[in-house]
Amino acid sequence: MNRASFFLLGCLSLTGTTVADEPVAQAIATQTNRLASAYLCESVKGDRSPFGLAMSTQCRNRQRAEFDAIQDQKPLRDCMKPGNVIDDDVRKCMKGL
């Protein structure tokens, strides 16, 4: 990843800290910060440098926390596979994804 990408991400990340009082600007800054984080996660995917490994771990933890924050839509009994197997597909079914 080149220096221009880091500069761009730094600028986009700063927008979330400069506007705290305006609700519309805060919503835009929050969305911009999410997009910058998603871009960074995609750009370091598969990178084996120490920075890439650390960012991959952080991105995986963030993605897991966002998934866990979604409320269940269906009961476990409706989504369970034969043999009482519970895996990621069952969890997605429960979340309605």
Residues 6+ apart with CB under 8 A from 27: none
Write down the pTM of the prediction.
Answer: 0.55
pLDDT by residue for the chain (97 residues), tens only, comes to 555 555 555 655 555 555 556 778 888 888 888 888 888 888 888 888 888 888 888 888 988 888 888 888 888 888 888 888 888 888 888 888 7
Task: Check: CB of residue 24 under 8 Å from CB of residue 15.
Answer: no
* Dist CA 89 CA 80 (whole Å): 9
Please answer whether residues 94 and 76 qualify as being in contact, where contact means their C-beta atoms are separated by less than 8 angstroms.
yes
- In terms of Cα–Cα distance, which of 38, 32, 35, 39 is closest to 17? 32
